[in-house]
């Protein structure tokens, strides 16, 4: 029968320390605050963001589009909160599976970030382990791809701990902070489907 994507916007995942919650427009201010307080921390790993990116109006529209993309089976996204933050006041990161392709491919791209003050505490690994499980077991995707700059050693450690394999280097793959950067191409496959 398959997963009912109309329920995805209400799908919560729980780990030992985290609540993984899909975005909704009620989170607009808190999500905007996440990007404002982490602007300097995330800039080296992100495309150049225009000033409008740091406004609530921008994120209200972005979240609205994400909710629509989830209903259309094109995106899966979760914001990370500590277990005790059941009112979702302070997001500490996010995990997204974008560009979902179905049919014979059943693949997507992984993206994630973590708050500067929470980096190195294992939250990204914990959140990714549970969200990858969800994408493989509940959605039956076959392949998740993550593209990471070679100097981003913390992100490489996270995906390698979870069993992603490096399939090679993609030269000048993405324009990050104004520079075309090489990326290592990491992949994990859903072996239950093979």
SS3 139: coil
CATH for 169: 3.40.630.30
Cα-Cα end-to-end distance for the chain: 19
| Low-confidence residues of the chain: pLDDT under 70 | 1
Spatial separation of the C-alpha atoms in residues 145 and 109, rounded to whole Å: 5
| Gyration radius (Cα) of the chain, Å | 16
> For the chain, what is the total number of helices (H) and then of strands (E)?
5, 8
pLDDT at 6: 85
Range of the domain at 128: 5-193
* Strand ranges of the sheet holding 165-176, from the earlier edge strand across to the other edge: 13-14, 18-21, 75-82, 93-101, 107-114, 143-148, 179-189, 165-176
pLDDT at 3: 87
pLDDT at 2: 80
pLDDT tens sequence across 20-60: 999 999 999 999 999 999 999 999 999 999 999 999 999 99
pLDDT at 193: 94
SS3 187: strand
Number of domains in the chain: 1
């Amino acid at each position: 029968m398959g997963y009912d994507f109309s329920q995805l916007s209400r799908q919560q995942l729980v780990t030992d320390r985290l609540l993984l919650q899909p975005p909704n427009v009620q989170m607009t201010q808190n999500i905007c605050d996440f990007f404002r307080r982490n602007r300097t921390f995330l800039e080296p790993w992100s495309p150049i963001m225009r000033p409008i990116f740091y406004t609530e109006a921008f994120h209200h529209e972005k979240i609205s589009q994400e909710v629509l993309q989830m209903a259309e089976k094109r995106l899966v996204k979760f914001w990370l909160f500590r277990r005790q933050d059941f009112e979702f006041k302070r997001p500490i990161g996010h995990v997204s599976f974008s560009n979902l392709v179905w049919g014979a491919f059943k693949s997507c791209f992984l993206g994630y970030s973590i708050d500067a003050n929470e980096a190195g505490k294992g939250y990204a690994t914990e959140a990714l382990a549970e969200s990858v499980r969800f994408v493989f077991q509940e959605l039956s995707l076959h392949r998740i791809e993550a593209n990471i700059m070679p100097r981003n050693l913390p992100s490489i450690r996270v995906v390698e701990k979870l069993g992603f394999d490096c399939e090679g280097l993609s030269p000048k793959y993405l324009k990050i902070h104004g520079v075309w950067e090489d990326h290592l191409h990491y992949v994990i496959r859903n072996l239950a489907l093979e």
